[in-house]
Structure formats: C-alpha cells, structure tokens
Amino acid sequence: MRNNFLGDVQLGPDEEEEIRQKVRDMSDPITRFSERINPKMVGVEKKKEALLLALASPHDAQGDRGRVHVLLYGPPGTGKSAILTWLRDHLSAGYASKKSTEAGIVGSMAHGKARKGILPKNHRGVCVVDELDKMKKEDREGLLECMSEGRVTMQGSEVEESWRANTIVLASANDKEKLTKKLRHRFDLRLKFGYYDRETGKKILEDKSKNFLKKKGDEEDITTLKKYLKAVRRFDIEIDKPEACKRAIEEFLEMNDIKEVNPRDHMARFMRIGLCHARLHFRKPRIVDFAEAIHLLLGDSHYATEGLKRLGRDE
C-alpha cells in the first residue's frame, strides 16, 4: 500500500521541467509557495517556510537520513493543530493523535497477525502527529524508531513484524519537556508557538478580518503547491562545489555551541536543512543555502545574524 501524500495530482515530464524553470526565475520561491500553506493563518510565515522545507526533504539514502522532522510546540490555541490538520486535509498527509486509528501509530495485532499503523502506511510520505506529548509511551518509542531508523517494529506474544517507515514526521506538543531528550533531538527544527503582543495581535486580527469566511485555500493554489512539491521531491541534488559546504560547516562550528548534543548529529541536521533549501530552488547547493540553514537553526540570535553576514546572502 503506497502513501497518499499529495493525493492523485498528476505531473508529466514537460510540466515538471516548466515548473523547474519558472522557480529558477523566481526571486523567492520559498515565500511564494509557503504562503499557500493554510493561507488563512497569518503571523507564522517563517514557521510555514520551515514546514515547506521539511515537506521537500528527500528519503534516506546511503545510510544517511535525508528526512527533516519538525516539532511545533507551545500553549494551546496558538495554531499548531490548525497547520497540521490543514496538511492532512489538503495535502493528504497521514495523521495520528492520542485518539489515533484502531491500528495505532506503529501497528496492532489481530488474530495473530500484525497490521500496519499510520507510520509504516506512510512510508516515503509524510505523517503529522498532533499532541505528541499526550500520546502513550509505546507510541512515542515507535515514533523515535521511525524518525531515527526509518523502520518500526511491532511485537506480539507470538509475532514480531518490522516494516519500513521512511516517513517525514511533523508533530505538535503543548509541553516539549514531557518528551524524552532523545526524542526531542530527533526533530531537526523545533518551532515555538506563542501568544502575540498587543501590536502584533492587532495586525493579525486586521488580516484575519479580510479573510473571514473565505476558503482555507483556493483549489488552484493548492494544486500548484502539490505540483511544486512533487517536482521538488523528484529533484536529485548534486554537490559540485564541496568548498561551499566546507566553508559553511566551518562557520557553523565556530559560531554554534554544540555541547548539549552529539556534534555529529548537529552537523547532519545543518547539512540536511541546507541541502533542502537548495532543492526548493531546483539548484546545486550554494553558500547562501547553508546561511539560511544557520538562520533556521539559530533563529534571530546574534550568532545567526553574524552567520548570515559572514557567509553572505550574495555570492
């Protein structure tokens, strides 16, 4: 059974090449296409860009994880679930929550036979996991295996079954501290949602009033987004200028404090994000792609600002 991510949208070779050429001519395709993700939600533009990057991440290959996983965390009512359910409803991402399917997130046993759960059913696709901090311990352990190894294991009293689950995971949690440190660190990007200050809230309310009762996404815009993502996911990236990667890595190591986690894991996360940024432009990686990776990982910190200056947005 194949995953249903992006539904049944069709994309022929000629149209795919046309999309690539149009995107290469755009000044900022990431902003243009991320705006199509739940367009009624405003004030979370950078978070939508990060989600677009994750949706475009490649499958694991040559023993390396290519998938980018994202955690949305913060208090209730800040829009985390609204974004995830939009991805389920409009892009056909798999969906799991504490009230998950009968088969569970990993799988279930029935009459001595193992049945696939939502993670292996979405192998090579995308699964959104809502309220991860409220899920059962065994489900979180299965999710960790999926995110790390690209597989899940279902164990019964007489049967043990293992399935491939090379699945991109986008999850939400009210309290990320309820997750184990190991599980938190499997998320390449951890994006904090919160309440707005008075001025920001006023602007967002004004924007919302303009969009009230409008559809959550024009069908043509959604189809365009699906075709773009399908083309991106088919794009095989090449690295022909390893010096760009090398320079970016040196800057990242110099600026970032990586004591809290395995430095090797941290660098792999940095490389994944930089390469995905290049994929969204249908190009070979440049220094600017890794500069943007620094910004996504370090936010608006002094280190991120210095990194962008030192690597340069223009080459």
Neighbours of 162 (CB within 10 A): 15
Q: Report the distance separating Cα 132 and Cα 187, nearest Å.
A: 12
Supply the pLDDT for residue 314: 40
Supply the pLDDT for residue 240: 64
Supply the pLDDT for residue 302: 47
Which residues in the chain come in under a pLDDT of 50? 258-261, 301-304, 313-315
Q: Report the distance separating Cα 33 and Cα 43, nearest Å.
A: 16
170: helix, strand or coil: strand
106 burial via Cβ count (<10 Å: 0-12, 13-18, 19+) = buried
**Any residues with CB less than 8 A from the CB of 242 and at least 6 apart, and which?**
none
User: Strand 151-155 to strand 160-164: parallel, antiparallel, or no bridges (unpaired)?
Assistant: antiparallel
Report in angstroms the alpha-carbon separations of 2 from 7, 123, 165, 234: 11, 7, 11, 16
Supply the pLDDT for residue 313: 44
Rounded (10°) CA dihedral 10, 16, 19, 20: 150
Q: In the CATH hierarchy, which fold is given to the domain comprising 13-234?
A: Rossmann fold (3.40.50)
From start to end of 61-204, where are the E strands? 70-73, 94-96, 107-110, 113-116, 126-129, 151-155, 160-164, 168-173, 189-192
Supply the pLDDT for residue 225: 96
HSE-up (13 A, CA, CB side) for residue 11 = 20
85 burial via Cβ count (<10 Å: 0-12, 13-18, 19+) = middle
What ranges do the domains of the chain cover? 13-234, 242-311
Neighbours of 43 (CB within 10 A): 17
Q: Report the distance separating Cα 291 and Cα 213, nearest Å.
A: 39
- The DSSP 8-state label assigned to residue 58 in this structure reads P
Residue 88: closest CA among 170, 186, 211, 150:
170
Supply the pLDDT for residue 40: 83
User: Strand 107-110 to strand 126-129: parallel, antiparallel, or no bridges (unpaired)?
Assistant: unpaired
152: helix, strand or coil: strand
